Amino acid sequence: MYTIVIFIICIGVLIFVHELGHFIAARLNGIKVEKFSLGFGPKIIGKKIGDTEYQISALPLGGYVKMLGGEIGDDESLETVGEKAWEKEGEEDGRFVSKSVLGRITVVLSGPLMNIILAFILMPLVFFIGVNLPSYLEEKPVVGWVEKDSPAMSGGFQVGDKILKIDNKSVSDWDEAITILATHPELGMKVEIERSGEVKELPLEKDKESKYSGPGYSGLLPEMAAIVGRVNKGYPAEKAGLKTGDRIIEIDGSPVVSWYQVSAHIRSHAGKDIELEVKRGQQEIKAKVRPVKDEAAGYGIIGIVNRQETVTQKFDVMESIEHGMMRSIELTKLTFDVLKRLVSLNLSIESLGGPIMIAKLTGEAAQSGVSDLLAFMAFMSLQLGILNLLPIPVLDGGWVVFLIIEKIKGSPLSKRAMEVTQTVGFALLITLIVIVSYNDIMRVFR
């Protein structure tokens, strides 16, 4: 119940901000707003103030702003579409269709823009309140693991190497080392390390043939003990009897020195039995487990998460703004990257989640603290804004396309053309909703 309540509140805030953008832009353009609704369906409560009726409706997953001569919202009707297309400009000043194309585009884009602005406001607030960061970021940059087939392995790095300089810049902890590596996606740099009391300089070149040669990825990882922090219900690890706090000391007969070693072995053994030896208190227990393939990621998993010590770090106002802006930009790039991979069929649609998954993640974020909840809301608001800009009929981006065509033609699209495109867009949206809901249900059963 707690998760549902938090989910409805968070979604309500994001929808309110979105529709508020449409509402403010409409009023600034002299358009009369007849109704401002949070939710769809039957009205639960409402009050009319001036020309506008403000209401809360029964179905919380959406909202709309009904304007004189047209609606902007997720429940845009074909009847309204036809009215927009056939209404003559100048018939009434307060009508949506009587405004210039630029004015109407402003109204349409203001909803997604408000969601994007909200994300860029919330994210700095997250850093100001305080964020939980891995404690290893404050530790000396001693290499705990070298990823196989990575630029670091090609450069000759070894576990135990202490990083002194990267690209002639001194580093004192993992935070500085990771920042330099992440902001130099081209790599191609020299790293000064200390090994057994001897100082060496090793190359860190980007390996174009390696599957790990993504932007800023080196393959250098900090030390991380192979201790189970959480066992997910319904997965092979739970069935094999693994428990939180277990220290994995051996995997398929090989001694374990790092969590990354365990992770890499599990990922590469989907559908194959592996044997784990764990230390639980004073006991040493052996367990046989068969990783299942994560269809979205394409590798084996058994449903365990490592235990990672964290520290809460707070930032002053200027630092919070800087970190918040950088994080928002990173999330924006990530969202576009996922969309690109979906369109190019390089990412399975099974990786997408729907309302059930979003509600679950919202509840988990809320239980983690205010900071995590605000960060999740910022991410959701950013995605809502960006996705609404896609040029798909029934989304705000689709309306912008209609208006641009109207500007080029000198007249609106025909009623028939708009009905067809709206129907196709609506069908695509419903299909997507069905797919992501099915994904959610299957995750629950798994």
Active site residues: 19
Among left, alpha and beta (phi > 0; psi -120 to 50; other), residue 5 is alpha
CA angle 10, 62, 102 (to 5 degrees): 110
What six digits make up the tokens of 312? 């809460």
Can you tell me whether residue 215 is helix, strand or coil? coil
How far is residue 234 from each of residues 13, 240, 263, 379, measured CA to CA in Å?
Answer: 33, 11, 19, 28
Cα–Cα distance for residue pair 338/348, rounded to 1 Å: 10
Cα–Cα distance for residue pair 167/186, rounded to 1 Å: 12
Q: Evaluate whether 18 touches 112 at the Cβ level (below 8 Å).
A: yes
Question: In the chain, how long is the greatest CA-to-CA distance?
Answer: 84
How do 143-146 and 162-166 pair as beta strands? unpaired
Q: Where are the alpha helices (DSSP H) in 234-304?
A: 236-239, 259-267
What is the number of H-type helices and E-type strands within the chain? 12, 19
Exposure of 91 in the CB half-sphere (CA atoms within 13 A):
11
Cα–Cα distance for residue pair 393/432, rounded to 1 Å: 14
Consecutive H or E run containing 292: strand 292-294
Q: Evaluate whether 341 touches 89 at the Cβ level (below 8 Å).
A: no
Consecutive H or E run containing 24: helix 2-28
What six digits make up the tokens of 423? 């129907």
Nearest alpha carbon to residue 354 among 233, 423, 445, 442: 442
Q: Evaluate whether 52 touches 35 at the Cβ level (below 8 Å).
A: yes
What stretches of 82-225 adopt beta strand conformation (E)?
A: 131-134, 143-146, 162-166, 169-170, 189-195, 198-204, 220-222
How do 228-231 and 247-251 pair as beta strands? unpaired
Residue whose token pair is 């990825």:
217
Which residue type does 118 have? L
How far is residue 215 from each of residues 102, 205, 209, 281, 398, measured CA to CA in Å?
Answer: 39, 12, 13, 41, 33
Residue whose token pair is 């072995």:
265
